[in-house]
Structure 1
């Protein structure tokens, strides 16, 4: 019988205690969080190749610290070396063509063409005499028509050869036209630019770190064929860290650009860090808080707020949680 009377009494005392705690503010019954949790992040850099090649070596390892200029990955440059050699040969040929166009035909070549033209003139004179003799004899029916036709054909060929040799000699003496020189110069300049490009690409068979930081992830293995622009190694720049929190717009009244916020880092034994807000932007519609009662509520957007530490914090790393009291603790502009 005593147990029957004790149970209602105990339940009543518990209910009364909860009511007292709620009225005194010790128990949060309004459903509002007393803190906002964020996360540290940092600048990430993807290192990629400029050309297709196979991975030859991966000296870098996940999590390894690197300095600017340290070797991260090496590609097989055999095909690129062949492209450089081929381009150099094409450039040499183009330069020779340009030099020929600028300097004209050599004296030795002119003498050879002059001799060939004199030979063509002599052959033409002989063909003309032969043709005249055959024409007279053919009129007297002393030679056959076939023999006369052969003389006519020989004269035609001799005239054509003499004209061709004369044109070649005149071109050699006067030199190349300005259009030919311009075309040869343009071809040479194009190949010079192409050679610079392939030589620059060939130097990138060794991918090196552009900044001081840490290797977040090596995304390829030795022997893999990689494409141009494909991320091969991801770096984190530990000197450029920031925190990011997501805040409902009805909680933004205490946040503005340049505002100082103080947060705690659980991973650093609750160390307090002061951040300066330098970014505020709404998230997409997926992050909008939808009202359940359309009569007296409205939809609320969620904003992403970022801030950077005002001072370097030893041991602070991307991925660490940051806890902010809400409402936000006031911080003086001098950081106190």
Structure 2
């Protein structure tokens, strides 16, 4: 009988101990897991040139280096514009060269011959006038004849001066202003060629970074509008973790703080530094607080950067953070 009482007391004590431990667990703060994911810098490679995709040199998962050709776009309209611009440049350069070189040698020679011809005619008319003047003084010819000879001599002088001016103009070449205008037109035409060439160069799209091809949105033969991304790249060396934190938990997170995040896919725990904290948009980020509070809590986005490169890290991998 006494033994039964002892066993009953022990059973009661054990039961009380279990109940006490259960109450302790029930009221102890529980460890919580916050989940986020890995993101990385993404580049959408698009062209200013609308046209048909001529060829795509990459596939999803390919590793590319800076300067590697990703795809090419064929634009017959731009090829025609380049031809027009090159034709205008050639014509402008020819006009500039003509202005710089001046008249052709044959033209200069012809102008000189015309001047010499006019000069010979002037000399002849001067001699003729002098003879008529002498005869007039002797009373052999009338005043009318002398006046006619004088007029012909003066006309010959004017003709000689005009011929000399034409010869000098041909010999000197174009005016300074004409040369400057021709040079300006040549530069303007050269700029038009460079403009079209720059746009055409943008149809051969190359990688701006050492990265990995994440998406190929168009294939050869498909039409690519201007600015439409044809290839997307991900730079996994520029990766970070993103977590959404409720407002009442934000006090545990400070910019510059280092925390340990577990990456289940890699079965590793790595140190990350909180780089940025920002409030998310007001849509779907409000949450009612527990009873006794008269405000709603918002959600904040926390960006965490790894303290060292992590091998085999991929975009979309989950990260876990234990908090009390």
TM-score (norm 2): 0.69
Q: Hey, what's the Cα distance between the residues in 1 that align with 2:24 and 2:165?
A: 113
Q: Hey, what's the Cα distance between the residues in 1 that align with 2:247 and 2:279?
A: 9
Paired residues in the alignment total 268
Q: Hey, what's the Cα distance between the residues in 1 that align with 2:262 and 2:237?
A: 19
Matched, 1:233 2:231: yes
TM-superposition CA deviations, 1:7-56 (whole Å, max 9, x none): xxxxxxxxx9xx9787433589x9x9812111100000111123122111
How well do the aligned residues superpose, as a CA RMSD in angstroms?
A: 3.7
Question: Contact 2:96–2:179 (CA<8 Å) still a contact in 1?
Answer: yes
Q: Hey, what's the Cα distance between the residues in 2 that align with 1:27 and 1:117?
A: 121
Q: Hey, what's the Cα distance between the residues in 2 that align with 1:320 and 1:26?
A: 33
Q: Hey, what's the Cα distance between the residues in 1 that align with 2:286 and 2:82?
A: 59
Larger Rg: 1 or 2? Answer: 2
1:5 equivalent in structure 2: none
2:277 equivalent in structure 1: 280
**Residue 292 to residue 118, structure 1, CA distance change in 2 (3 Å):** farther
**Residue 241 to residue 27, structure 1, CA distance change in 2 (3 Å):** farther
1:182 CA drift (Å): 2.6
Matched, 1:105 2:95: no
Any gaps of 5 or more consecutive residues in structure 1?
Answer: 1-15, 123-163, 328-336
**Residue 64 to residue 168, structure 1, CA distance change in 2 (3 Å):** same
1:170 CA drift (Å): 7.3
Q: Hey, what's the Cα distance between the residues in 1 that align with 2:303 and 2:234?
A: 17
Matched, 1:71 2:60: no
1:25 equivalent in structure 2: 25
1:186-201 correspondence runs (5 A): 186-201=184-199
1:298 CA drift (Å): 1.7
Question: Contact 2:49–2:75 (CA<8 Å) still a contact in 1?
Answer: no
Of 105-114 and 64-73, the range deviating more from structure 2: 105-114
2:244 equivalent in structure 1: 246
**Residue 27 to residue 184, structure 1, CA distance change in 2 (3 Å):** farther
**Residue 197 to residue 57, structure 1, CA distance change in 2 (3 Å):** same
Q: Hey, what's the Cα distance between the residues in 1 that align with 2:256 and 2:82?
A: 52
Matched, 1:58 2:56: yes
TM-superposition CA deviations, 1:78-111 (whole Å, max 9, x none): 5544443332222121111112223332332344
Matched, 1:307 2:293: no
Any gaps of 5 or more consecutive residues in structure 2?
Answer: 1-15, 122-161
